[in-house]
Amino acid sequence: MAHLGVADLADVARSAYGRELRDVARLRGGSKKGVYRLMLDDGTTGIAYVWRASEDYWPEHDEDPLFGHASGRDLFLTAHTALSEAGACVPRLVLADADVVVVEDLGGEFLEKAFDADALERLWDDLAAVHRHTSPRYGRPNALRPLDAPPVPDVVLHRALGHLETCRARVPRIAAERDRLEAQLRERHAAVEPRTTYALIHGELGPDHVLVTDGRPVLIDIEGVMFFDVEWEHVFLELRFGSHHRPATGLDQARMSFYRLAQHLSLVEGPLRLLDGGFPHRDAMTAIAEHNIGRVLDC
């Protein structure tokens, strides 16, 4: 897949900073968008997020829009506003164009490089503040579902059953346990009590989606922000942060148990589907799928 160069992003740099672009570097990590460091003629830098078909490694796939392909300028801008208003730190917005957003280049290190204790404490405090922002409806902040929409656990069950079928067709070890796993999904779903209030969540927050600059955690890759069950966020946090995760008080353990199995299935199905395309970091995706196959079978 060809990446963008100076000629492709020169006008973006002029619009954002009024300066000439000397060089660009595509940063590792984006699978749905291109992330480029813009190096300007005065030595300063910025970060450009680019949403174009040429930057998207994911094969076409039909899925509930709540989860499916959480990417695009509008989702980014909506999430940026929602998180900022909730008190989280996000990169300062410099430019929003048709398919490009430019934000400040904060430098710093990803939290995964060193789990700084102070930065972690600030992260958990920031997330707690974000989660205190609630809505009686779930969904993207600019596209909330109606009050009579199917309950969140029903949406998760439907999605997880679809992932189970996809995984069964591709992973013999899951195929051998298919009936047991479906029974587990349905049993855990049945144990979940109704709920009418949903929290604002990041949706995909790992230590690789947190930059630390001057000791402050800054959230990136924010397009998955939505109002949803807070347990969905905490299941992902415990998967990604391990012993560094700080559980919130009052989490519904029935939801946690149900969402763990659903997310492990998702983390088999998604990486395997991504590998159907031209995603370059194939060993990492294979390792994620293999790890989560084990976790699914242990459930």
Q: For 148-172, write each residue's pLDDT tens digit.
A: 999 999 999 999 999 999 999 999 9
Contact between 168 and 174 (Cβ < 8 Å): yes
* Rounded Cα gap, residues 292 and 170, in angstroms: 14
Domain that holds residue 183: 108-298
The count of C-alpha atoms lying within 13 angstroms of the C-alpha of 218, restricted to the half-sphere facing its C-beta, is: 18
Residue 269 lies in a domain: yes
Of 286, 285, 240, residue with least CA distance to 263:
240
* Rounded Cα gap, residues 90 and 79, in angstroms: 10
3 state SS of 195: coil
Residue 136 lies in a domain: yes
Residue 267 lies in a domain: yes
Residue 54 lies in a domain: no
Q: For position 148, which CATH number holds?
A: 3.90.1200.10
Of 196, 249, 256, 203, residue with least CA distance to 226:
203
pLDDT band at 134 (very low <50, low <70, confident <90, very high): very high
Q: For 280-289, write each residue's pLDDT tens digit.
A: 778 989 999 9
Residue 175 has pLDDT above 90, yes or no: yes
Contact between 33 and 54 (Cβ < 8 Å): no
Domain count, the chain: 1
Of 34, 29, 48, residue with least CA distance to 91:
48
Residue 56 lies in a domain: no
Residue 274 lies in a domain: yes
pTM value is: 0.94
Residue 1 has pLDDT above 60, yes or no: no
Q: For 94-107, write each residue's pLDDT tens digit.
A: 999 989 999 999 98
Residue 61 has pLDDT above 70, yes or no: no
Residue 219 lies in a domain: yes
Contact between 181 and 283 (Cβ < 8 Å): no
Residue 62 has pLDDT above 70, yes or no: no
Residue 92 lies in a domain: no
In sequence order, what are the residues at sequence separation of 6 or more whose Cβ sits closer than 8 angstroms to the Cβ of residue 20? 10, 13, 14, 40, 41
Produce one character per residue of 220-233: b if its CB has 16 or more CB atoms within 10 Å, e if not: bbbbbbbbbbbbbb
Q: What is the DSSP letter of 249?
A: T
Question: Beta strand pairing status for 93-96 and 226-228?
Answer: unpaired
